[in-house]
Structure 1
Amino acid sequence: MGETKMTMHDWRDIFRAFKMALDPRKMLLGYAGLLVSLAWCTVVVAFSSALQIIDTTPAIFTKLVLSSVKESIPVVAKSVCSAIMSLDVGEFFVFGVLVFGLLVIWSLVGGAITRLAALDYARDESIRLSDALKFARKKLWSYFWSPLVPVIGVCFFAICNVIGGFIGRIPVAGEVFVALGFPFALVSGFFMIFIGAIGALGLCFMFPTISAEGSDAFDAMSRAYSYVLSRPKQFLAYCTVNVLYGFVCLFVIAFVAWLMIRLSFCTIGAGMGQKFSAVQSFLLQKCSIACLGFCSATAPESAASAVPLDRWSLKFLAGMLLVYIFLIKLAVWSFLTTYVFSAKTIIYFLLRKEIDSTDVSDVYLEEDEQTQKKDGTSSSSEGGQENPSPDKEGKP
């Protein structure tokens, strides 16, 4: 008999997100999405830097992964703020190219993950990875445009105000026009706040909506706004449980990753001796083996400013260890992405049940999925009819 999953259809179901996030198919999708995203950002930044459009080097993305969150977040926040404040035309173009590529990548990856999570949670069904990717590819542009709809709405009202400002440049008449029409600018500002704030809160429901309903970007946007505004208390409660539980899960995964690397260093170093101590000291100057920064205390031998590696074999060993640490740390962030998509899918189903009174098991199925299900049912029933036939024939 198969394992029966305990589904409460309430806030306790959020705790299922940990196990759902560890699904190898979702982890593979998240890992591939992060790798492709890093490759895309590296190529775009390297090409733009070679053309002297921007000053940033592509090595920054590798350093972000090899650093811990405690070390990288302040640097990233400072870099992003300074870049936005002084964004010129060339940098704005590069930024747009980066965002476009990342949206395409995560529309496909996020769509496939939420499709797997929707069928897993709602129907206890497991589909093939290729089927999830096929569904996400068909709905690619719905996934792509859904997070951009609030941005387009904010930009629309902002452009209306800018046009009003241009009209205000007309002598006398323009000034009178702005004076009389300024209340409309205030209303426009309110809509920018409303669309932007609610859109940011409901952004997490857009991908699960398309994956569960098979709908488009407009339906994803309307449900996101409706669910946030209709049940704000439940929404905040679910999100609070999700964030707290997610942080605990991430801490456990990150600690296991750190402990795995640390124990491997200690045991290999005990056998290899001073040579591995030199390699380890070199590595700890280049990267942090901790993901969250809570266990990033370096070894005493790493205090020196520089540790030379005099042989190519030691340099090769250090380089390969850097690659392994990079891949392990990327797996931790892969878990975080799959957890976020899985948990938000569960919250979407819970709010849909409360607001729309829709049964949790109601999930959109494509024709080929329905055909496969019917074929499976018919074959099992035929199998049940074939078993009694020998008994009937054996009767006198």
Structure 2
Amino acid sequence: MQMHFDWRDLFKAPRLAISTGKRLILQTLGLLIGYVGYLILTYLAYLLSGQPVAETWNYFGLFPFYDFGYGHWLSAVIWILGLLFFFSFWLLFSTAVAKVTFEELRGDQFYSTREALRFLKERISAVLFSPLTLFTLIVILVIVGAVLGLIGRIPAVGELFFGLFYGVPIFVSALFTVFVAFVFFVSLVLTPAVVGSLKSDTFTTVVEYFQTVWNQPGRFFGYTALTVILAKLGMFVFGYFIMRTFQLINWACGFTMGSKLDDLFQAAMSYLPLPNVLDFFTTLYPGSSIGYHFAMAPGGTGLGITEGIAAFLIGITLIIIFFLMVGYGLATFTCGQTIAFLITYKHREGENLLERKSEEEEAKISEVEGKIEEKLEPQTKS
């Protein structure tokens, strides 16, 4: 695929995100796995807090969030683990999306999801431990600051020590910590692109964070902003087609099902996130009056057993479709970030990563060269 290596390439992202369906499936799959893990751990957190599962279900349904004022520290830790589980799988499968994008930009249109998952399995440590390395460094620096604070509590000597070393190293270390914290948040969106493009290990990935932010800040943040806009627009348009699809189903099937369909669909809609959450995805931008709603006629009460089961099954399907819509937006963002990284790397290092031979290609070339040398050796001796 031809690249201009400037902002124009970013407009390929919405099309790449949905073409062949591989990236969309991978991104949605990662969201669903992360969501299920988060759901289970959040319910477990409430259960350990003494709240029955039925009561939690009545409050939150399939999209619970934790109230820190309700439980104890163990429940809060379990809920945080649920969040980490969700974000970990989002990060991992975003890397698989980035890898598919990179290979297709190189010209390999047949790079499969299975190959992407195999690649992901080999790079799990780089994907997860690279941001974790920065977070650990931040924690260590904060602990050092706390120790310096304890020294400062020593009568007479402590305040003199603190005043003497406030500039160097205390202020300098604190400034470095702030910068590392900034890079840490950048790493959450940059990791998939770096690992997917470079097949890098943890150390190389961390180095790429700092080099990208330090050497190409304008391009990186400008391209990231444009990618966010494209992802939001893409998700908005994709959601619009989903809404029209729902309307078509309800219109066509409503001829024969009548009000029963309204009752089933309204009950199924109750399994989705809160309306204000949905509005974020179904409006052009936050606070905009340009948008659409998944509105239905009132209904959904007094359902029988079989109708309740049917509504639940439809609700699960709606949740999958919801994550499909969100997955398209995130896949667009990941594709855009991958393209942005290729551009910034080209301007920074002067190398087109799309032309770099992979390890498999180099191995094949070495194998062919070895066979040629073996054939030429007898002729040379004679």
**Pairwise CA distance, 1:256:** 0.9
**Which residues in structure 2 correspond to 1:289-300 (within 5 Å)?**
291-292=281-282, 294-296=291-293, 298-299=295-296
| Counterpart for residue 148 of structure 2 | 164
Counterpart of 1:253 (choices 219, 238, 254) is 238
Q: Give the counterpart letter for 1:199 in structure 2.
A: F
**Structure 1 unaligned runs (5+)?**
65-75, 377-396
Match of 2:29 in 1: 32
Q: What per-residue deviation string (whole Å, max 9, x for no partner) do you get for residues 55-98 of structure 1?
A: 9947848337xxxxxxxxxxx7xx7xx74x99964245324533
Identify if the C-alpha distance between structure 1 residues 286 and 328 changes in structure 2 by more than 3 Å, giving closer, same or farther.
closer
**Contact between 1:154 and 1:195, CA under 8 Å: does it hold in 2?**
yes
Distance 1:25 1:335 in 2: 11
Amino acid at match of 1:237: G
Name the structure 2 match of 1:13. 9
2:24–2:327 CA contact under 8 A, matched in 1: yes
Q: Is 1:52 paired with 2:41?
A: no
Tell me the residue number matched to 1:63. Answer: 63
- Paired with 1:278 and 1:126, the residues of 2 have a C-alpha distance of 44
Deviates more, 1:100-109 or 1:336-345: 100-109
The TM-score normalised by the length of structure 1 is: 0.77
Aligned to 1:240: 225
* Residue equivalent to 1:313: 306
Q: Cα 1:86–1:233, aligned 2, differ >3 Å: closer, same or farther?
A: farther
Structure 2 CA distance for aligned equivalents of residues 115 and 297 of structure 1 = 34
Please state whether the residue corresponding to 2:117 is helix, strand or coil.
helix
Is the deviation greater in 328-337 or in 106-115?
A: 106-115
| 1:153 alignment counterpart | 137
Which residue of structure 2 lines up, in the alignment, with residue 388 of structure 1? none
Aligned residues: 351
Partners of 2:233 and 2:344 lie apart in 1 by: 24
After TM superposition, the structure 1 = structure 2 runs for residues 25-174 of structure 1, keeping only pairs within 5 Å, are 25-52=22-49, 57=56, 60=60, 62-63=62-63, 83=68, 89-102=73-86, 104-174=88-158
Q: How far does residue 52 in structure 1 lie from its aligned partner after superposition?
A: 2.1
Instruction: After TM superposition, list the pairs within 5 Å mapping 1:199-238 onto structure 2.
Output: 199-238=184-223
Q: Relative to structure 1, is the Cα distance of residues 30 and 18 closer, same or farther in structure 2, using a 3 angstrom cutoff?
A: same
Summarize the Cα distance change of 1:158–1:364 in structure 2 as closer, same or farther, 3 Å threshold: farther
Residue 147 of structure 1 deviates from its aligned partner by: 1.7
For 2:172 and 2:77, the matched residues in 1 are separated by 31
Q: 1:333 to 1:364 in 2, by over 3 A?
A: farther
State the superposition RMSD in angstroms. 3.2
Change (3 A) 1:261 1:352: same
CA distance in 2, matches of 1:120, 1:179: 58
Distance 1:30 1:42 in 2: 18
Q: Distance in 2 between matches of 1:333 and 1:94?
A: 25
Q: Tell me which residue corresponds to 1:262.
A: 247
Cα gap change, 1:366 to 1:38, in 2 (>3 Å): same
Q: Aligned-pair distance for 1:232?
A: 2.3
**Cα deviation, residue 100, structure 1:** 4.7
Contact 1:168–1:177, Cα closer than 8 Å, also in 2: yes
8 Å CA contact 2:102–2:354 kept in 1: the answer is no
Contact in 2 for aligned 1:14/1:343 (Cα 8 Å)? yes
- Decide whether the 8 Å contact of 1:116 with 1:132 is kept in 2: yes
Q: Which residue type is aligned with residue 308 of structure 1? A: G
Instruction: Write the distance in 2 (CA, Å) between the matches of 1:320 and 1:239.
Output: 38
Residue 350 of structure 1, CA deviation: 0.4
- Does 2:332 match 1:332? no
Q: How does 1:181-192 map to 2 (within 5 A)?
A: 181-183=165-167, 184-192=169-177
Paired amino acid for 2:124: L
Query: Unaligned stretches of 5+ in structure 2?
Result: 284-290, 369-382
Map Cα deviations across residues 155-191 of structure 1 (whole Å, 9 max, x no partner): 2221111011122333333333223333333223212
Q: Secondary structure at the match of 1:201?
A: helix
Contact 2:30/2:89 (8 A) holds in 1? yes
Identify the range of structure 1 (338-347 vs 220-229) with the bigger mean alpha-carbon deviation. 220-229
**Range that drifts further, 113-122 or 42-51:** 42-51
- TM-score normalised by length of structure 2: 0.80
Asked if structure 2 preserves the Cα contact closer than 8 Å seen for 1:38 and 1:61, the reply is no
Sequence identity percentage: 18
Instruction: Confirm or deny: 8 A CA contact 2:6 2:343 kept in the other structure.
Output: yes
Alpha carbons 1:122, 1:363 under 8 Å: kept: no
Contact 1:107 1:140 in 2 (8 A): no
Flag the 1:53–1:223 CA change in 2: closer, same or farther, 3 A.
Answer: farther
CA contact (8 A) 1:206 1:217 kept: no
